Structure 1
């Protein structure tokens, strides 16, 4: 019997992760990229590439004649189950390796170091919540406006499909965001929670106009909802609330959000019942190009 390998299975096999979750994650990333219509042969800049989940989907889209500059400021020993460095090395050793250049750098520093560089598209896929402040997001978008005709964004929507079990994910993210914004510095996956509406406003302030937007529903084996919920209910969360949140009313609000996570976690039947909220994808163009 002939076995047909899907594109998601091929992409997942190049990441070096386990079979089930990685295929679902690869399919989700392919679904995001499909909304951006990345052409074969395109030159793409990805800011906040992480371990390369979206990078692989972009490398598939640009084909052998295209190229992806994949930039991330994270230390190469950051990340799990593989560190950034391990994941990048695994991908580079595969058939897409020649299509990708990995760069460890802050986005603005990278752009400043390459003042003449231009790209057919710039991608920020699930990376905006890693930025330190909304102002830094706006500054980065402004710097990109003169470098590319298209900026492609994906972030979690803070919405969930009716009937899904992803509300716990939404609440976990908001609880984390309420804590992280009170820290002088953060190494969390959730540092600055910006909604689609806020992203559109930041883009407009940077001289970018919205061309299109859509929601993408992740597969059941995309476990981001579980991961963020686990982070919100761990014992260390309470320890950090006591350390960083001094105002009693603010502290009560953060604890209330965490209590809401735990209540909805119980309603979901435990961690395995937690779903992942819908993704949001958009394309922006410099308003001068309209």
Structure 2
């Protein structure tokens, strides 16, 4: 599917979502990106049954529901409480989608994905595809990622993965790479984290975890996302903020460890200057992979 086609479909699908305060153009870019992920995986056939982990407010879910057609189904699982999220909660966003044209194709499930999948082990609950789209960095540690791959391998014919690549084909995406690593250096020093960057794993590390779980990679690709995707700007702004400095001071007591986190933050700030400031920022590359049972 061409970029222009994706943008056209993304605009139509975005009208089925609650529009965020930063506007329709931001939402269209997010949905268009999810359509690109589907293309990079090799497409989703009409009529298939999908389980999506870490669905959140449904940016990827709506793209998957569009792809599976009237005979398909998306079971969308997220561990966040229904009241989580702003300016709209997870419940508000999901209920809005349910009331729309594609709502009947989606079954929203609130709960820990591993717990839900453990109950989804009968032949009647076997899925054609398991989806992990930009959610692995939310996991608490690599062991949980491996366990999730094991469970998906027993319930899904194929597993589709998309995550930030920790590389940037464009220099303007490098601050996003540094910002992600900087946030991870702080979050791994907290006893608990609710950040969207908790366990940073590279494509090579994710592939290794999947293989340890009994999966084999059959396809992979890396691409540069569209300039309308603002994740790079959001993550860099978070690291550059005074709030981040306070979090480091509150949570990192060892002076050598604190020095490492602040050195990483400085690298973000210097790289931001090098690319011409926040307005020039883009997001880093994205890695997509398809796995099957070994």
Q: What TM-score do the two structures reach when normalised by structure 1?
A: 0.94
Q: CA deviation at 1:115?
A: 2.6
The residue that corresponds to 1:92 in the other structure is: 98
Q: 2:218 is paired with a residue of what secondary structure? A: strand
Q: CA deviation at 1:113?
A: 2.7
Change beyond 3 A, Cα 1:81–1:222: farther
Q: CA deviation at 1:41?
A: 0.3
Cα RMSD over matched residues? 1.4
The residue that corresponds to 2:18 in the other structure is: 16
- Distance in 1, matches of 2:148 and 2:25, equals 35
The residue that corresponds to 1:125 in the other structure is: 133
Kept in 2: contact 1:8–1:30 (CA 8 A)? yes
- Distance in 1, matches of 2:176 and 2:56, equals 20
Change beyond 3 A, Cα 1:265–1:79: farther
- 2:168 matches 1:166: no
- 2:31 matches 1:26: yes
Change beyond 3 A, Cα 1:209–1:109: same
Kept in 2: contact 1:32–1:216 (CA 8 A)? no
Q: 1:151 is paired with a residue of what secondary structure? A: strand
Structure 2 residues not aligned, in runs of 5+: none
Q: CA deviation at 1:14?
A: 1.3
Q: CA deviation at 1:25?
A: 1.3
- After the TM superposition, list the runs of 4 or more consecutive aligned residues in structure 1 that deviate by more than 4 angstroms: none
Match runs of 1:27-176 below 5 Å: 27-36=32-41, 37-116=43-122, 117-162=125-170, 164-176=171-183
Q: 1:150 is paired with a residue of what secondary structure? A: strand
Q: Point out the more displaced range, 17-26 or 147-156.
A: 17-26
- Distance in 1, matches of 2:111 and 2:168, equals 33
- Distance in 2, matches of 1:216 and 1:52, equals 22
CA deviation string 1:108-141 (max 9, x = no partner): 1111233312100000000000000001000111
Kept in 2: contact 1:48–1:73 (CA 8 A)? yes
Q: CA deviation at 1:22?
A: 1.2
Task: Tell me the matched-pair count.
Answer: 283
The residue that corresponds to 2:204 in the other structure is: 197
